[in-house]
Chain A
Amino acid sequence: MASNGIKDRVAIVGMSCTPFGEHWDKGPEDLLVDAATEAYRSAGIDPEQVDAYWLGTMASGYSGLMLSEALKIPYKPVTRLENMCATGSEAIRNAAYAVASGAYDLVMAIGVEKLKDSGYSGLVGSNPPNDGTLSNMTAPATFSLLAPAYARKYGVEEGTLKQVLARIAWKNHKNGAKNPKAQFRKEVPMETICKSPPVAGMLGVFDCSGVSDGSAAAILCRAEDAHKYSKHPIFVKALSFAAGPAAGYYSQEYDFTTFPEVVASSQDAYKQAGVKDPRAEISMAEVHDCFTPTELVLMEDMGFSPRGKAWKDVLDGRFDGEGPQPINPDGGLKSFGHPIGASGLRMMYEMWLQLRGEAGPRQIKGPKLGLTHNLGGAPGRCVSFVSIVGAG
């Protein structure tokens, strides 16, 4: 049962992240070239040294050719993968396993998404030919279901919960204001967040992550080779993934106050990393704040807060940039938007900066373990990724 893990067997020796935003002047291939070039430079390597590539993109292109043609990679393995909003993280996970297996010495995980070219509001997906009975609920609608369910279960007044959700958005924007790569680099007052136009249920515009373009990349090798490439590599402690049986869509037992997939993947990750008390041991985390109630529920599913208590931790500032357990120190999806294939790598990029002491005004003091988390799908029917990384 569960996974064996590859704790301390794989290192990240170079990373890159393009600015996220509205890149009207750049296509997905341009973003890939920018991210890959910067990643080679970060690891101090030539492109020829990379043995294999994993490219994550949800819908901005197809096949390994998207990358090999853009970078003119000569006849090497390029795997294109997709796993909903966890796509970027999946690139890291699969690339890490490839070097851990010994099949390759040096690999790149890269992700990209170009969302702004569609001209549509919010995320849009296309379905394979189907019978026309698929739900047309939008992402904010499905995630909005978390808020009233949480309020009811734990006896939180709706007005209080609105403040809790707003504070999550406020906190992430506050962090993002200090990040030169973020799409939105301004603090947003609580009042503006609370009064933003409704999108779904209790959620206003400021409860939702933005829509942007971006790309990010990582160079990975086996741990024993790490110091060949980098003075300050970071090491993979855990990689976990859970795809659910969609039980919440069929079973009346599901109550919309948890993601069982997140519980399973975080528990697995803690076991791999030897983490006993995530509230105490995880120094910081980049989590999937696609909508504010998602981040709230994640705090409990990951064990950062006891059940029914995360809302208090949020109000107490526990997860603030200067708090005891900063969550989304780079600004999160809230400040970066969510170019799907790139987001998981963007999260890892913040771990890379923080663990190496390179996060500038956002720098957290002496972080030991960082966690990244992606969620794809909807409450009741989703996939979840969790990684844990550390400097030593």
Chain B
Amino acid sequence: MAGIVRYGTYLPYFRLQRSAIGGGKGERTVASYDEDSVSMAVEAARDAVRGGVAIDAVLFATTSPAYAEKLDAATIQAALDLPEGVSSVELGGSSRMGLAALLLGLDLATAGQHALACASDLVVGAPGGARESQGGDGAVAFVTGGDGDAIARMLGRASATIEILDVWRLPEERFARQWEERFTADTMAGSIIDTARRALSSAGVEASALATVILDGTNPRSMVGLPKALGLRPEQVADPLAATVGRTGVAHAGLLLARALDQAKPGDRILVVCEADGVDALVLEVTGHIKDMRPVRKVDRWIASKRNDLAYNTYLKWRGILPFEPPRRPDPERPAAPPMRRHERWKLAFVGSRCEKCQTGHLPPQRVCVKCGAVDQMRAERFADTSSRIATYTLDHLAYSLQPPVVAAFVDYEGGGRFPCELTDVDPAQVAIGDHLEMTFRRLFTAQGVHNYFWKARPGR
């Protein structure tokens, strides 16, 4: 059988207050101007694959792909420094595809593979609409494998596929539309209950024995009947994080599952139900391995790590909805395919080099050692997770940025190595020499239709 071996999550730093949009309580997560579904998936997956776990397949689900054509899963594979021998699959078209990716990962695990199932979405709604205020940005990643080393074993599952005009968007359109909610709620309610029951039945688990039930869907109203139908107690139903995060599209069911795993104890049973163009339901049992394999950052830590004063017009600029005056500086140049390919491990995995003779670190990787002059005696070394601090920094008011001023720093890495690097998710007034930093995978800019991914540094979150 199969289960979840490890997991990781990611929520961006910024929050948009619903009151700033013009009404509503609480706040939603907002990806920064230099993030997208791919970069957030990488951030979540880094925690899931930390410490090294052999991955056979990369699965990526999103409704907000970075490219309509060009495999985002390959960028994720490269950023995680996974071997090129992995297989890859992308899923999209519905916010249910995040949980579907996990189910597919569990299928592959049943067949003896380790799969990395990532789900990430940047949910953008038309200004003033419910999707804008109720949506959120975030990512989750699970590694699936055999149930021997699983932190949560799959006990049962069930699915339904339903053709319905609920949420839709043409490929060339920016904003999704949604049909009137009462129709969807009434139409889907029966299938939701039926699919959940089938999953519990296949697992041989009574609803009353569940520690946590996760309900997620395009329409909260369609879920309201389920607790009553299954006879659930209110405390069994997980907080959907509507007030603190918003619904993070394909990532949301997994994000709520990850939060349940953050808090679970061995033996807990969890039901996950996700509704969108049908229903997927999954029943898991938490194992004793949970204590050893929890990620570095739990969901509640991400929720607490935030800056919540984002102005609405800044948000609209970041999402490209509001046009603005460009700087009197040249547009960024498109990176070129051959050098990107030659330097792939540097650019995407942040792999530098270390001199075998004198142990000096080099970023980017060099052939000749800056200290001892040894030629071609380097070994590759990944610095993405290496502890680092600010050697010196400056606030650059001239460099172009969607969040000026640019905070530029020389970053010194533990064990040697230095790199001039842009800081992100940072309050310029709070930066100080010696501050500890973490590397984070970002989309620096997009030029002539090419996304330029690379790494920045951020204060610890």
Contacts and interface: CB of A to CB of B under 8 A. Distances in A.
A144 B339 contact: no
Given A144-B394, A200-B395, A251-B370, A133 B420 contact: no
A385 interface: no
A50 interface: no
A252 B329 CA distance: 31
B370 A149 contact: no
Contacts of B44: none
A136 B329 CA distance: 12
A145 B397 contact: no
A142 B408 CA distance: 9
A115 to B, nearest CB: 13
B202 to A, nearest CB: 48
Contact of A250 (B332, B347, B399, B418): B418
A49 interface: no
A300 B23 CA distance: 61
Contacts of B244: none
Contact of B343 (A133, A137, A140): A133
Contacts of A149: 392
A251 B418 contact: yes
Interface stretch (B149-157, B210-218, B358-366): B358-366
Interface in A80-136: 118-122, 124, 126-127, 129-133, 135-136
Specify the main secondary structure of chain A where it touches its partner: loop
Interface stretch (A22-30, A165-173, A241-249): A241-249
A249 B396 CA distance: 18
Interface residues of B, number: 50
Given A131-B339, A131-B346, A119 B408 contact: no
Contact of B328 (A121, A198, A252, A380): A121
A367 interface: no
Interface stretch (B301-309, B311-319, B409-417): B409-417
B335 A130 contact: yes
Contact of A245 (B338, B370, B394, B421): B370
Given A124-B329, A130-B336, A250 B408 contact: no
Contact of B335 (A132, A200, A246, A249): A132
Contacts of A129: 336, 338-339
Interface string A353-366: 00000000000000
B56 interface: no
A124 B396 CA distance: 15
Given A129-B339, A130-B339, A137-B420, A252 B412 contact: yes
Contacts of B332: 136
Contact of A122 (B398, B420, B453): B398
Nearest to B329: A120
Contact of B330 (A124, A199, A249): A124
Interface of A: 118-122, 124, 126-127, 129-133, 135-138, 140-142, 144-145, 148-149, 197-201, 245-247, 249-252, 254, 256, 380
Interface of B: 327-330, 332-333, 335-336, 338-340, 342-343, 346-347, 360-364, 366, 370-371, 391-400, 405-406, 408, 410, 412, 416-422, 433, 444, 452-454
24 contacts: A119-B328, A122-B398, A126-B330, A127-B333, A129-B339, A131-B340, A132-B335, A132-B453, A133-B364, A136-B444, A137-B396, A140-B398, A142-B394, A145-B410, A148-B392, A197-B397, A198-B395, A199-B397, A247-B370, A249-B418, A249-B420, A250-B362, A250-B370, A380-B410
